[in-house]
Structures are given as C-alpha cells and as structure tokens.
Amino acid sequence: MRKAIESLETVSADEKMLEAYRAREKARRDEISKLAYAEKQKAKKIAEEMFKDGVGIEKVAKYTELSVEELQGIENKVKSERN
C-alpha cells in the first residue's frame, strides 16, 4: 500500500511539474511572438520612412527584409498619403 501511495505522489508531482513546464513554454512562445511582431512593425515603419525619402523598393527590401508584396502595399499607402 505504501508503494502505491508513493507512486501516486510521484505521478501527481510529475503532472504538476509537466503543467508548470507547459505554462513556462507557453509564456516563452508568447514572448517570442510578441518580439517578432514588434520587429515586423518596426521594419514596416522604417520602410514607410524610406519610401517617404524616395528610396527605391529594392533597397528598402534589402534593409528591412520585408517581402516585395508587403513593401508594395506600404509604398502605395505612402503615395496615397502624398495626394
């Protein structure tokens, strides 16, 4: 009976540790996602400023690492704001 109780306590402890691990991993992944989102937003803002300064799309792509499709949208937005 004692071994059964010890086994149950071990399993319960393992489940609690697993739950704590999962919570830490989720928090870590959430933080990585937040950082990636912030980095992308910063790159878009830099691209917008570069377009306002007349920099070409190829150079903006090189320095921001944004896709040409994303940059075309940003460039069109900047152009429409000028008009």
- The confidence score (pLDDT) of residue 11 equals 55
CA trace torsion 51, 55, 61, 62 (10° rounding): -150
Taking a C-beta distance cutoff of 8 angstroms, is the pair 75, 52 a contact? no
Q: What is the arithmetic mean of pLDDT over 52-56?
A: 96
- The confidence score (pLDDT) of residue 3 equals 67
pLDDT, averaged across the chain:
89
CB atoms within 10 A of CB 74: 21
- In angstroms, the CA 83 to CA 67 distance is 25
Residue 6 has pLDDT above 70, yes or no: no
Q: What is the arithmetic mean of pLDDT over 6-13?
A: 62
State pTM to two decimals.
0.72
